[in-house]
Structure 1
Amino acid sequence: MPLLDLDRLTAGLSTTWSSYLRDWDRTLRSGNHPETTRYNYLLAAAQLARYLEEYSPDPDADAAAADPTLVSRAHVEAFQAWMIQTRSASTALNKHKALQQFFKWLELDEGDIDASPMRRVRQPRVDKKLVPVIGDADTAKVLDTCKTHRISQSSQSSTSSTNGEKRFIQLRDEAIIRLYYNTGARLSEVANLGVDDLDMSTETAMLHGKGGKQRRVRFGPKTARALSRYLRARAQCVGADLSHLWLASRGKRHLAANVTGVHAHRWRHNFAHEWKLGGGDTGDLMLLMGWTSEEMARHYGASAAAERAQQIHARMGVGERV
């Protein structure tokens, strides 16, 4: 099932809002924007429309809920405040950036508004929080839940097909986790992998990053074995879309492993931390991670910067030579 389902995304919106969002999506598609970007942009606009209809205290919100050309600066600011209250400041910031693009399109491409209501709306201030890395110990706990020997512990009432599905999901999840941990790839980059993106002979994967940028990354022998086992099991699936790499339902390995805060970006932060800790070059790290700004290199792994500094301090022996 595709990520972007316009019928579902625009369900319940006015005919005018729905029409504009479908036209905007056509413009985004013609500009070769990836599906994840289109989805996030359109979702923000749809959420604004639903907020105006269901939650806004403004007396003129009904008109704006029916027609996006009637949205005002006050409507957007109230929506941002609501997003901060019900979600987070970082989520509100993402919605702000998406709405900037929507109203810019309404103004410049469509010519249906004289000025964007976003022009004087300030971006939400987001406190920078350190994201803790997820190291070997916690990763090992999560991977342990993927061990296929656990199937033998299933109750005798379980059917062979149920056992087979459990084994398949375990093989798939181990391959996904190892790929995240081994490459530091973004969640979307791993999630959107196709079978043809893997080259098992060279143990590399072609990642499709932001802005349509591609890069090839290597993975190690353990990840290669996990992928190979998964591919063999996957080949037995009948009627599946064999162009897309990952099949079946989503798992919740962190619950079984009793590890909190497990998500792909923690392994991405960990990759940057381990790279810097091992003395890796920042420029090479940027190439591997798909970054164009050194600011991103400083941001990722920042939560472990103090640990790196302490280890270097101990190794250098500053203040211990006399």
Structure 2
Amino acid sequence: MDRVRQPKTPKKLIPVIRDEDTKRLLDGCRGRSFVNLRDEALIRLYYSTGARLSEVGNLMLDDVDMNTESVRFHGKGSRDRRVRFGPETARAFSRYLRARAKRRGADQVPNLWLAERGARPLLPNGIKVRLKRLGLAVGVDGVHAHRWRHNFAHEWHRAGGDTGDLMLLLGWTSEDMPRYYGASAAAERAQESQTRIRIGERV
């Protein structure tokens, strides 16, 4: 067995969801209905925090702090962390929370996200199905929450962000994860450098 070579497993780059696709999804949520406001807040939170499907889906009302524009995520291994979100997400949250407060029986449900009908929570699996349907409606394939997590890490690496800070924000304990997620950013930077070199050769 010492002489047998281990098979090489192919390493694929992490697929990211581009900003233009996120914009198309947000455009598909335009409107003043409860569902429109909820879906916009969901998408913006995934985009601005890079949180896991379950972390966003299992949020309670008490986890949201509008004063600091932040949420408390309950991560893997019972590790909580507080993450801030941007002003656009804050505005989307404010609109959703006002609409939520008007729902009959909503004050009896501790979960942040409510289903379209009745005072029932919208759980992670329901969010997964909803995101897929939104993607199909606007022509964006393969929409799921983890792609925004990929995108968050990708853009963080492209901007030269600190790996330790990224681990704290995304709730990672192993440095293998940021290296894995950073591969796509490294490949993109290499392609951009190659393009600049080629342009220089033509001058």
Counterpart for residue 196 of structure 1: 62
Give distance in 1, aligned partners of 2:38 and 2:58.
14
Counterpart for residue 44 of structure 1: none
Structure with more relative contact order (C-alpha pairs < 8 Å, separation 6 or more): 2
Give distance in 2, aligned partners of 1:138 and 1:281.
26
Consecutive unaligned residues in structure 1, runs of 5 or more: 1-124, 150-166
AA in 1 matched with 2:159: G
For residues 128-207 of structure 1, the aligned pairs below 5 Å read 128-148=11-31, 167-207=33-73
Give distance in 2, aligned partners of 1:210 and 1:313.
39
Aligned CA RMSD, in angstroms, stands at 2.3
Percent identity of the aligned residues?
A: 65
Provide the TM-score with structure 2 as the length reference.
0.80
AA in 1 matched with 2:21: D
The question of whether the paired residues in 2 share the 8 Å contact of 1:187 and 1:264 is answered with: yes
Counterpart for residue 298 of structure 1: 179
Give distance in 1, aligned partners of 2:181 and 2:58.
22
Mapped pair 1:236 → 2:102 = yes
Q: Deviations over 1:43-68 (max 9, x none)?
A: xxxxxxxxxxxxxxxxxxxxxxxxxx
Give secondary structure in 2 for the equivalent of 1:148.
Answer: coil
Give secondary structure in 2 for the equivalent of 1:131.
Answer: coil
The question of whether the paired residues in 2 share the 8 Å contact of 1:270 and 1:301 is answered with: no
Give secondary structure in 2 for the equivalent of 1:274.
Answer: helix
Q: Deviations over 1:163-207 (max 9, x none)?
A: xxxx10110010000000000001110000111101101101101
Give distance in 1, aligned partners of 2:68 and 2:138.
32
The question of whether the paired residues in 1 share the 8 Å contact of 2:158 and 2:185 is answered with: no
Report the CA distance between 1:256 and its aligned residue.
1.1
The question of whether the paired residues in 1 share the 8 Å contact of 2:53 and 2:145 is answered with: yes
Counterpart for residue 308 of structure 1: 189
The question of whether the paired residues in 1 share the 8 Å contact of 2:157 and 2:185 is answered with: no
Counterpart for residue 156 of structure 2: 275
For residues 47-58 of structure 1, the aligned pairs below 5 Å read none
The question of whether the paired residues in 1 share the 8 Å contact of 2:153 and 2:181 is answered with: yes
How many residue pairs end up in the alignment?
Answer: 179
Give secondary structure in 1 for the equivalent of 2:179.
Answer: helix
Provide the TM-score with structure 1 as the length reference.
0.52
Report the CA distance between 1:213 and its aligned residue.
0.1
Give distance in 2, aligned partners of 1:313 and 1:281.
25
The question of whether the paired residues in 1 share the 8 Å contact of 2:55 and 2:74 is answered with: yes
| Structure number with bigger Rg | 1
Q: Deviations over 1:4-34 (max 9, x none)?
A: xxxxxxxxxxxxxxxxxxxxxxxxxxxxxxx
Consecutive unaligned residues in structure 2, runs of 5 or more: 1-7, 117-125
